[in-house]
Amino acid sequence: MSTITAASDRSTQRSIKQQKAIGEVTDAMDDTAIFLKLMKKAEEAAQAAA
C-alpha cells in the first residue's frame, strides 16, 4: 500500500510544480501584454509629438 501512496504523493508534487510553472508563465504573459500596451502608448505619443 505504501508504494501506491508514495506514487500518489509524487504525482501530487508533480502536479503542484506544473501548476506553479503555469502560473509563472501566465504572469509573464500578463506582464508582456502590459509592456506592449505601454510601448504602443509611447509610440502614439511620439507620433503625436512629431
Sign of torsion over alpha carbons 9, 14, 19, 24: positive
Q: Output the pLDDT for position 1.
A: 60
Q: What is the pLDDT of residue 15?
A: 96
Q: Please report the DSSP string for the chain in residue order.
A: -HHHHHHHHHHHHHHHHHHHHHHHHHHHHHHHHHHHHHHHHHHHHHHHH-
The predicted structure's pLDDT at residue 2: 82
**Per-residue pLDDT, 3:** 87
* Interval 1-50: pLDDT, tens: 688 898 899 999 999 999 999 999 999 999 999 999 999 999 999 999 98
Tell me, yes or no, if the pTM score tops 0.85. Answer: no
